[in-house]
Chain A
Amino acid sequence: MNDSRNTPLLEVRNLVVNFYTRGGVVQASRGVSFQVAHGQTLGIVGESGSGKSVAVQAVMGLIFNPGRIEGGDILFRGRSLLDPAGKKFVRKVRGKEIAMIFQDPMTSLNPVFTIGTQITEVLRHHLGMTKDQARKRAMDLLDLVDINAPEKRLKQYPYEMSGGMRQRVMIAMALACEPKLIIADEPTTALDVTIQAQILELLADLQHRLAVSVILITHDLGVVAQLCHRVAVMYAGRIVEVGDADQVFASPVHPYTKGLIRATPRLDVVTERMVSIDGVPPDLISPPQGCAFSPRCDQAKNDCLRSQTLTPLGDDRHVSCWCAIKGDTR
Chain B
Amino acid sequence: MIGQAKEAISRAENEAAAGSPLVCVKDLGVIFDAGRAGFWGRKRLHVHAVEKVSFDIHPGETLGLVGESGSGKSTTGRAILGRVPVSAGTIHFQGKEITHAGKEMVRALSRHMQLVFQDPYASLNPRMKIVDIVAEPLLVHGLVKNSKEAAGEVAQLLELVGLPPDAGARYPHAFSGGQRQRVGIARALALKPQFIVADEPVSALDVSIRAQVVNLMQDLQARFGLAYLFIAHDLAVVRHISHRIAIMYAGNIVELADRHLIYDSPVHPYTKALLSAVPVPDPPVQRARQRITCPGEAPNPMDPPAGCRFQSRCPHVTQTCRDTAPVLTPRRPGQTAACWNC
Where the two chains meet, the residues of A that have a C-beta atom closer than 8 Å to any C-beta of B are 47-48, 162, 192-194, 196-198, 200-201, 219-226, 245-246, 249-250, 259-261, 263-268, 270-271, 273-278, 280-281
| 1/0 contact string of B224-248 vs chain A (CB within 8 Å) | 0000000001111101100000000
Question: Which of B233, B279, B283 has a CB less than 8 Å from the CB of A200?
Answer: B279
Q: Could you say which residues of chain B place their CB within 8 Å of the CB of A273?
A: 215, 218, 240
Question: Which of B215, B234, B282 has a CB less than 8 Å from the CB of A276?
Answer: B215
* A219 pairs with B207, CB closer than 8 A: yes
Q: Could you say which residues of chain A place their CB within 8 Å of the CB of B215?
A: 273-274, 276
B55 contacts partner chain A, Cβ-Cβ < 8 Å: no
* B284 pairs with A263, CB closer than 8 A: no
Output the nearest chain A residue to B179 by Cβ-Cβ distance. Answer: A280
Bound state CA distance, A143 and B141, in angstroms? 60
Given known pairs A47-B208, A267-B239, A270-B260, the reply for A280 and B282 (CB within 8 Å) is: no
How far is the CB of A225 from the nearest CB of chain B, in Å? Answer: 4
Q: Could you say which residues of chain A place their CB within 8 Å of the CB of B284?
A: 246, 250
* A225 pairs with B281, CB closer than 8 A: yes
Q: Can you list 14 A-B pairs, Cβ within 8 angstroms, ordered by A?
A: A193-B233, A193-B274, A225-B283, A246-B283, A261-B281, A263-B207, A265-B240, A266-B282, A271-B240, A273-B240, A274-B237, A275-B211, A276-B208, A276-B210
Bound state CA distance, A82 and B211, in angstroms? 40
Bound state CA distance, A259 and B211, in angstroms? 11
* B233 pairs with A274, CB closer than 8 A: no
B17 contacts partner chain A, Cβ-Cβ < 8 Å: no
Question: Which of B240, B260, B276, B282 has a CB less than 8 Å from the CB of A274?
Answer: B240
How far is the CB of B136 from the nearest CB of chain A, in Å? Answer: 25
Bound state CA distance, A276 and B234, in angstroms? 17
Q: Which 6 A-B pairs have the closest CB atoms?
A: A222-B279, A276-B211, A221-B281, A277-B208, A265-B236, A47-B206
Bound state CA distance, A260 and B207, in angstroms? 7
Where the two chains meet, the residues of B that have a C-beta atom closer than 8 Å to any C-beta of A are 68-69, 176-179, 206-212, 214-215, 218, 233-237, 239-240, 260, 263, 273-286, 291, 293-294, 297
* B211 pairs with A263, CB closer than 8 A: yes
Among the interface residues A48, A200, A223, which one has the most CB atoms of the partner chain B within 10 A? A48
How far is the CB of A232 from the nearest CB of chain B, in Å? Answer: 15
Q: Could you say which residues of chain B place their CB within 8 Å of the CB of A193?
A: 68, 233, 235, 274, 277-278
How far is the CB of A115 from the nearest CB of chain B, in Å? Answer: 17
Output the nearest chain B residue to A200 by Cβ-Cβ distance. Answer: B279
Question: Which of A197, A274, A277 has a CB less than 8 Å from the CB of B277?
Answer: A197
Bound state CA distance, A201 and B281, in angstroms? 16
Other than A245-B283, A276-B209, give 4 A-B pairs with Cβ distance below 8 A: A192-B68, A226-B283, A267-B263, A270-B260
* A226 pairs with B279, CB closer than 8 A: yes
Given known pairs A193-B274, A276-B211, the reply for A225 and B291 (CB within 8 Å) is: no
Bound state CA distance, A101 and B211, in angstroms? 29
Q: Is the interface of B mostly helix, strand, loop or mixed?
A: helix
Bound state CA distance, A259 and B275, in angstroms? 24
Question: Which of A194, A225, A271 has a CB less than 8 Å from the CB of B286?
Answer: A225
Q: Could you say which residues of chain B place their CB within 8 Å of the CB of A200?
A: 279
* B68 pairs with A268, CB closer than 8 A: no
How far is the CB of B158 from the nearest CB of chain A, in Å? Answer: 16
Q: Could you say which residues of chain A place their CB within 8 Å of the CB of B263?
A: 267
Q: Could you say which residues of chain A place their CB within 8 Å of the CB of B283?
A: 225-226, 245-246, 249
How far is the CB of B215 from the nearest CB of chain A, in Å? Answer: 6
Q: Could you say which residues of chain A place their CB within 8 Å of the CB of B273?
A: 194
Among the interface residues A47, A220, A259, A280, which one has the most CB atoms of the partner chain B within 10 A? A280
Given known pairs A193-B233, A270-B260, A273-B215, the reply for A219 and B281 (CB within 8 Å) is: no
* A196 pairs with B277, CB closer than 8 A: yes
Output the nearest chain A residue to B69 by Cβ-Cβ distance. Answer: A192
* A264 pairs with B207, CB closer than 8 A: yes
Given known pairs A192-B69, A280-B178, the reply for A47 and B207 (CB within 8 Å) is: yes
* B285 pairs with A268, CB closer than 8 A: yes
Output the nearest chain B residue to A296 by Cβ-Cβ distance. Answer: B208
Output the nearest chain A residue to B68 by Cβ-Cβ distance. Answer: A192
* B239 pairs with A270, CB closer than 8 A: yes
Given known pairs A226-B279, A267-B275, the reply for A48 and B206 (CB within 8 Å) is: yes
Among the interface residues B210, B215, B283, which one has the most CB atoms of the partner chain A within 10 A? B283
Q: Could you say which residues of chain B place their CB within 8 Å of the CB of A223?
A: 279
Output the nearest chain B residue to A222 by Cβ-Cβ distance. Answer: B279
Bound state CA distance, A263 and B278, in angstroms? 16
How far is the CB of A26 from the nearest CB of chain B, in Å? Answer: 15
Q: Could you say which residues of chain B place their CB within 8 Å of the CB of A196?
A: 277
Question: Which of A222, A259, A275, A276 has a CB less than 8 Å from the CB of B281?
Answer: A222
Given known pairs A220-B279, A263-B207, A271-B240, the reply for A278 and B212 (CB within 8 Å) is: yes
Q: Could you say which residues of chain B place their CB within 8 Å of the CB of A263?
A: 207-208, 210-211
* B279 pairs with A197, CB closer than 8 A: yes
* A249 pairs with B282, CB closer than 8 A: yes
How far is the CB of B290 from the nearest CB of chain A, in Å? Answer: 12
Q: Could you say which residues of chain A place their CB within 8 Å of the CB of B69?
A: 192
Output the nearest chain B residue to A247 by Cβ-Cβ distance. Answer: B283
